[in-house]
Amino acid sequence: MPTPIDRDEVRRIRAEEGGQLVEVLPPPEFADEHLPAAINVPLKELDELGPRLLERGRAVIAYCYDYQ
């Protein structure tokens, strides 16, 4: 089960584990604003793009806008 984390953990996992930040919102919302160094893999395209754009051996941090 994925582990819920807060922003401090995001920063730590990025710095210490090289975690990959993934915004799962549609491209226009990613273009509007996104976390530094994040890549965009929209939820609807996760099956296709996830394995191509993300490294399986590294941690992955998924996020969207808020608790929606």
Partner 1 sequence: MSPRAAARLESIGFARVYDYVAGKADWGSAGLALEGENGSKTRAGAHARTDVPTCRLGAELRQVRKLVENAGWDTCFVVDGAGVVLGRLERSALRSDADVRVEAVMTPGPNTIRPSARLEATVERMRRQDLTNLPVTSSEGKLIGLLARDDAEAALARLLAS
Residues of span 46-65 touching partner 1 by CB under 8 A? 46-47, 50-51, 54, 56, 58-65
- Among residues 59, 56, 63, 17, the alpha carbon closest in space to that of 38 is found at 63
Cβ of residue 37: shortest distance to partner 1, in angstroms?
8
CA distances from 31 to 17, 26, 40 (A): 26, 9, 9
Residues of span 29-48 touching partner 1 by CB under 8 A? 30-36, 38, 41, 43, 46-47
Alpha-carbon dihedral angle through residues 12, 13, 17, 22, given to the nearest 10 degrees: -140
Residues that bind partner 1 (CB under 8 A): 1-7, 9-10, 13, 17, 19, 22-25, 30-36, 38, 41, 43, 46-47, 50-51, 54, 56, 58-68
